[in-house]
């Protein structure tokens, strides 16, 4: 009796793990699979089980012909979606190589084994710049709980430095902060938070956190006290206005750009910016953005193709940076 109840589950397991449109499974293989699990089954009973699965809602189809058989035609995720997820994991520098391979293997269980093998042969984790921090999963989980419950956290934050002996050492500092959001930007995962003695936001890279403790008895400071957000912290808006996740207070920025930079500008600032024609081959942009080193670096990559119209503080930063570069490369 127990085996007969398990039979339907084993058939579903085989179809889920091994079948797809290019790899149908015939009744003989189903019988062999069941026999390996100590279940004998006649063809007629297998047909009945397939019917039950279809009635329940599983999209099981039959390919007729000599090499035909049954296969699971639709799944929760399409192959292209799984490929996108795997590519995102392999490209994420904040996930260690070991964690990346493990996570990709778990994602690939959502497609058939032949499809998984095909995707895996095109996904390369080795030789990519990856974090060595194996604790990042636990830190993300703790930070998520702290954000949801409004608790402070204490983080041991590590940065590298070069000593007088030309060796790389670590500079560890303890930060007690109120966490508000975790943002994936520029191939890094960041924590946006506030340190109690300051009335602004700060950003920490999560892969640089070595130890993390939730302070359940310490209530987090509300983000409305240190940011322009009142009812909910808009992480998408924050990431758009803070290039490369440098902190700073957003203010009005106006740029004059060459027309061939339109795509790069919209990719960086989004579609809801104000644009206007500024001549035959130029356009103007008005938006809100934090004036900081991140914005300066973004503008400087385009050289003379971008001119800052305002604010003056941004012009000054660009001028100072240009003078610094000139002093290094002056011939």
Where are the chain's structural domains? 2-72, 79-120, 136-231, 250-329
pLDDT at 1 over 70: no
pLDDT at 308 over 90: yes
- Residue 209: what pLDDT? 93
What would the pLDDT profile of 200-228 be if each residue is shown by its tens digit?
999 999 989 999 999 999 999 999 999 99
What would the pLDDT profile of 49-80 be if each residue is shown by its tens digit?
999 999 999 999 998 877 889 999 988 899 99
Contact (CB, 8 A) for 194 and 223: yes
Q: Which strands make up the sheet holding 274-277, listed edge to edge?
A: 274-277, 282-290, 250-258, 306-310
Contact (CB, 8 A) for 92 and 140: no
pLDDT category at 193 given cuts 50, 70, 90 is very high
For strands 69-72 and 151-162, give the pairing: unpaired
Q: Using alpha carbons, select from 318, 298, 100 the residue that is nearest to residue 185.
A: 298
| Tokens (6 digits) for 246 | 């440098």
Cβ-proximal residues to 202 (8 Å cutoff; 6+ apart), any chain: 177, 192, 193, 194, 195, 247
Can you tell me the mean pLDDT for 68-96? 89
pLDDT at 2 over 70: no
pLDDT at 93 over 90: no
The CATH number for 2-72, chosen from 2.60.40.420, 2.60.40.10, 1.10.10.10, 1.10.287.620, is 1.10.10.10
d(CA 229, CA 239): 13
What would the pLDDT profile of 9-22 be if each residue is shown by its tens digit?
999 999 999 999 88
Q: Using alpha carbons, select from 259, 264, 267, 205 the residue that is nearest to residue 240.
A: 267
Which of 79-83, 111-115, 124-128, 280-284 is predicted with the least confidence, judged by mean pLDDT? 124-128
What would the pLDDT profile of 104-123 be if each residue is shown by its tens digit?
999 999 999 999 998 888 77
């Amino acid at each position: 009796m127990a085996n007969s109840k398990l039979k339907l589950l084993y058939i579903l397991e085989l179809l889920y793990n091994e079948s797809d449109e290019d790899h149908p499974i015939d009744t003989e293989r189903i019988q062999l699979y069941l026999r390996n699990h100590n279940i004998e089954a006649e063809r007629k009973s297998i047909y009945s089980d397939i019917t039950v699965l279809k009635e329940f809602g599983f999209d099981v189809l039959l390919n007729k012909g000599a090499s035909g058989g049954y296969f699971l035609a639709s799944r929760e995720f399409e192959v292209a979606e799984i490929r996108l997820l795997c590519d995102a994991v392999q490209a994420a520098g904040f996930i260690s190589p070991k964690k990346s391979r493990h996570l990709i293997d778990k994602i690939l269980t959502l497609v058939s084994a032949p499809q998984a093998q095909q995707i895996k042969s095109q996904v390369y984790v080795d030789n990519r710049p990856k974090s060595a921090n194996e604790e990042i999963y636990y830190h993300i989980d703790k930070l998520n709980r702290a954000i949801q419950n409004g608790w402070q956290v204490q983080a041991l934050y590590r940065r590298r430095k070069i000593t007088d002996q030309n060796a790389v050492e670590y500079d560890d500092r303890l930060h007690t902060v109120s966490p508000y959001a975790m943002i994936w930007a520029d191939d890094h995962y960041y924590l946006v938070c506030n340190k109690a003695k300051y009335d602004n936001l700060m950003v920490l890279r999560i892969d640089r956190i070595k130890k993390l403790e939730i302070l359940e008895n310490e209530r987090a400071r509300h983000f409305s006290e240190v940011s322009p957000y009142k009812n909910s912290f808009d992480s998408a808006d924050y990431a758009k206005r803070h290039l490369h996740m440098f902190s700073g207070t957003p203010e009005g920025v106006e740029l004059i750009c060459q027309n061939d930079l339109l795509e790069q500008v919209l990719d960086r600032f989004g579609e809801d910016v104000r644009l206007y024609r500024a001549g035959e081959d130029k356009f103007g942009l008005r938006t809100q953005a934090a004036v900081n080193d991140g914005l300066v670096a973004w503008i400087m990559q385009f050289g003379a193709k971008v001119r800052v119209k305002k604010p003056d503080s941004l012009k000054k930063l660009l001028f100072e940076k240009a003078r610094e570069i000139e002093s290094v490369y002056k011939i």
